[in-house]
Structure 1
């Protein structure tokens, strides 16, 4: 899927172009019956706010505009709703034209045109990414007011309405404005971009106490900002009384701040030496969605620390000392006072781009009874009774981005999220059937388990095949979900559906498998030296016509592979498992030795160290080195 997919679904079946044309033909303004100007569009129950009057922008000001001098992070100001998370996300969105052009499509054609009033029908549409697809939400332009003032989000310019209309469209997605009272910043960022959100805990990441970790993270923030990833930060409130209460340094707990710039700023030096050797200080610029209330510490508006920055540098970063909610902090102070940071990566999958391109794997699935809701690893007997997804890492190492997202809603009682997470298993290089006993695999990573809409994980993985087991924390919970993975190269991502080999129409007369064997190539010792650095050995495992190749281990005669394969055997008595060792060369690989494993007996994790022999006429001659493998074989095809 490209960064901005072309497939868009009309929300509630309302097609913007069709509705606008109908209004033009009938010479009337659009009235949205799906989200009418009534109390039920404001609150879950009526009577919570008296005196609300729904007005069209022309009734609020004489010269309404969708945008006044474009969109900027300073446009968006929070109203009476506790939706600073949404306001902060909107501020982040406003920084990047190519992003808000996707959320606010055809903005120029939606703009008021004083010269062509007949083109205005009081209808707008906005697009949000929801559960794997873009949804087009149509609204009318009637906005809730009190005493002729907008109640909720508004712009600093009294005649600018993009932020208020955007909020209305988002509220329509969740049935009313009150549904936006308290929410998740990362979710809004994802809904605006289709990106993948990551939550950073400042304390757990060591950003508060470790100078080197903090410096590395600042460099990461700079890189992410250059890539136009959206960022925000917050300070959690421990009690209800602390929610959105100003702290002594001017910051507000339980409140989300948009991060609008990340820069190294040079301090003034003295003399010629100072001109070329100026110390740089790491700085972060943030914005309070309230549009007022700012940081009061070092480098706050008007503080003496700004005298250390040259006037030209202050102008370069657009420094102003206004009560506009935007302020600068040092990275040290930022990590000292803020506790949570949200990144939203807008992952690029387009080949027509100069920036890094990712390969996407995406699948919709569900936990459902009776056999696909087994719970987390704590439930050892039922853990594999969950959806499973296989993917490959084809490079020597990659750091895939993974996200599990449950299909949830926001309602009167808040979200209905269940606790979810996932486990990553390193599996056999040729596995194409579901896992039935995870203890025969290597558990490489476990995600956190939370009752959030989505779970993010990014870990370095070595070359090989992996299976992700997605699960709810407790068993027997049903829920639809979406899983996404992004890798640097093609990953072959797909869901594992089938339990074991099955006869098809074309091979109905073929012999059925009678046993399954897992063979893990652990290591070799004392192989014959092939060049001055030793050798570059790999193995080929063959069984009844199927072959699996291990990765190459370079510059050693004592390689460790820890690589496995699984085979469903039809004739284990007559057709042994063959393991050959080869040396990887530029022109032609060189044979180093083999061993035949002849056995039809069941075994579990049997470790064997065996000799190597030649091939062909040299089949009885021993070769240098010993091979160590681990084998499990059983007649129960559902055992592994």
Structure 2
């Protein structure tokens, strides 16, 4: 799984920070599953989720609400049957049936998820039950715009007067993982209503954090069958969709405007020759294809008995076979979601490099629209892509496989109230006379050069993906909206064997001076300055760290004493705390972590240093530490002042920073290492690393 972000805590994480990792997902709305379940068990009360309450607001306010019976209720599984089960080992694609919500795209992706048990158990944590430690609370993990998010829900589900679930249900009436997973996803989208209408590709990415390759079947490549074989062999998830339009059953048994799951592929040998078959499933759990190789087709008579017995099923379960030719003729697109894009290369098993850049189109600044807006197109964000000679190069062309994904973020809490913009991307080869210039390519460049992909296609979908074969060299990727002055955040992801991706900006001009470093309006200015510095120096030493920090004028902390300066010893302490890879240097992400903490510490120090002496007393220090949510015994504060304070037992800003960093980061390390939050077990080498280099 790609692990693309960093660990954070706190009740209300800032939404603009992508902080949730695969192992340590961000808590949606600050709800921590383990804390909540412990609280419920201790109080002997079942969990009630106030952030996604059991009322109409969680259903929605549009067409879905009109389908819901007026006398529906919210009930827990224990109220519906004697022995409810959350999950079983033998879950399958046949378990789930679609309910009143028009979310076949979600169910098609979910059915695909059941084919890969490793991914399924990542999305659906297995240590949950209606028996052991039951407290009416469950949680699920999704990948959302560059980070993993843990979503908590209670188990109150909407049912009709007969106790039948209104939305997703299971064939086994006492199995509830699907209904609760749908509820968690509805919470992530805003409501059940916000799950109506979508693309199967969207849900596949949310389940995996992978990247989609979308193939328009009207323009299917000649090696489509080989691509599907490689996808199936590598554990990819696959889905497909019929032509858009009103959702209705056609004469051939397919449903128009509907999503299906690709559940298998098989090459068979019949009396008339070999044929390539695709197995599909309708998420309704019924209504099947009626053409060749359908359940009752005479084509099966051409196979040997054993093969026919193995493949043919005559029950009405929504699953059926069809030939690859019929598949291309009756379906619009095939979506293949992979954790790594090995499928676009015939050579499997080689490591791919993933790079991710987060950006934003800002009206009047970086939202230039498509290339036809020649006056402003060059203002779009630009990303320099350097392709190196790799072991996947095709010998005849010396080119490399590159997969580029552009993902836009919804601008509203409710998914359906934030329709996706038309977005696209273009890649330009950078000639030699521009390669040494790190500034943004000017307007004239785009007037005289054509993109590698010739024509940029703009699609109003959440993610646009395009694969290329590029020669080693320097390129610029320009993501854009179709129209100028449209605002939206986006993620650009690039996969290849060997490359570097970095944002293209103005020439670095490192002049580190600031009058009001803590002012919020200056945050972006300093982010740009540091980004440019790290373009020249990807890894900085203690000496460079000291230089950076001391170029800044911490004017709000300047007193009658000398201006705040960081000593070499202090910078060594800071380096040891933030150097997660133990290289003796900091990269830009580690420095960004430090910078955010420094701004936070400065604000706290400023509030507590009321006499502007440049020092905190014992009482001031207690208040400052507690402001960061850390509670310690009184004796520890005395020890801290003895260790970090001066002869008068007062602490200055430099030592306050060192102290706070050690407390915060060591506290986070403890939480990560502790299985129960009460203790940890370390090997001697681990203990030495934590104590000697910290």
Distance 2:283 2:66 in 1: 27
Counterpart position of 2:477: 468
- CA deviation map 1:467-525 (0-9, x unaligned): 11111111122211111101111x12111122x3536579xxxxxxxxxxxxxxxxxxx
Distance 1:503 1:77 in 2: 59
Counterpart position of 2:48: 31
2:341·2:495 contact (CA, 8 Å) conserved in 1?
no
Counterpart position of 1:492: 500
1:264·1:283 contact (CA, 8 Å) conserved in 2?
yes
TM-score by length of 1: 0.70
User: Which of 421, 444, 454 is the aligned partner of 2:463?
Assistant: 454
CA deviation after TM superposition for structure 1 residue 22, in Å:
0.5
Q: Secondary structure at the match of 1:355?
A: coil
User: Which of 110, 116, 123 is the aligned partner of 2:128?
Assistant: 110
Q: Secondary structure at the match of 1:466?
A: strand
Counterpart position of 1:92: 112
Root mean square deviation, CA, Å = 2.3
Distance 2:438 2:158 in 1: 56
User: Which of 433, 436, 448 is the aligned partner of 2:439?
Assistant: 433
1:68·1:157 contact (CA, 8 Å) conserved in 2?
no
CA deviation after TM superposition for structure 1 residue 32, in Å:
0.7
1:71·1:95 contact (CA, 8 Å) conserved in 2?
no
Distance 2:27 2:509 in 1: 41
1:179·1:410 contact (CA, 8 Å) conserved in 2?
no
User: Which of 75, 81, 106 is the aligned partner of 2:95?
Assistant: 75
Q: Does 1:236 find its partner at 2:247?
A: no
Distance 1:161 1:197 in 2: 29
User: Which of 423, 427, 440 is the aligned partner of 2:426?
Assistant: 423
- The structure that is strand-richer by fraction is 1
1:103·1:128 contact (CA, 8 Å) conserved in 2?
yes
Q: Does 1:331 find its partner at 2:343?
A: no
- The structure that is helix-richer by fraction is 2
Counterpart position of 1:382: 376
Distance 2:149 2:496 in 1: 26
2:363·2:484 contact (CA, 8 Å) conserved in 1?
no
Distance 1:283 1:48 in 2: 38
TM-score by length of 2: 0.65
User: In the TM superposition, what are the counterparts of 1:129-528 in structure 2 within 5 Å?
Assistant: 129-146=143-160, 147-203=162-218, 205=219, 207=220, 213-214=221-222, 216-238=223-245, 243-267=246-270, 279-317=273-311, 319-347=312-340, 355-395=349-389, 396-408=398-410, 409=412, 411=414, 414-427=417-430, 428=432, 429-437=435-443, 438=445, 439=447, 441=449, 443-445=451-453, 446-489=455-498, 491-498=499-506, 500=507, 502=509
Q: For structure 1, list consecutive stretches of 5 or more residues without a partner in the other structure.
A: 208-212, 270-278, 507-640
- CA deviation map 1:355-392 (0-9, x unaligned): 33210110111111432111111011211111111111
Q: For structure 2, list consecutive stretches of 5 or more residues without a partner in the other structure.
A: 4-20, 343-347, 390-397, 514-694
Q: Identify if the C-alpha distance between structure 1 residues 111 and 316 changes in structure 2 by more than 3 Å, giving closer, same or farther.
A: farther
CA deviation after TM superposition for structure 1 residue 323, in Å:
0.5
Q: Identify if the C-alpha distance between structure 1 residues 286 and 410 changes in structure 2 by more than 3 Å, giving closer, same or farther.
A: farther
Decide which structure has the larger Cα Rg and report it. Answer: 1
CA deviation after TM superposition for structure 1 residue 312, in Å:
2.0
Distance 2:87 2:136 in 1: 15
Q: Secondary structure at the match of 1:34?
A: coil
2:2·2:210 contact (CA, 8 Å) conserved in 1?
no
CA deviation after TM superposition for structure 1 residue 153, in Å:
0.8
Q: Secondary structure at the match of 1:493?
A: strand
Corresponding residue pairs, total? 473
Counterpart position of 2:636: none
Distance 1:361 1:66 in 2: 37
- CA deviation map 1:516-550 (0-9, x unaligned): xxxxxxxxxxxxxxxxxxxxxxxxxxxxxxxxxxx
Q: Does 1:41 find its partner at 2:58?
A: yes
Q: Secondary structure at the match of 1:313?
A: helix
Q: Secondary structure at the match of 2:253?
A: coil
1:282·1:330 contact (CA, 8 Å) conserved in 2?
yes
Distance 1:149 1:410 in 2: 29
Q: Secondary structure at the match of 1:443?
A: coil
CA deviation after TM superposition for structure 1 residue 6, in Å:
2.8
1:44·1:412 contact (CA, 8 Å) conserved in 2?
no
Distance 2:216 2:323 in 1: 18
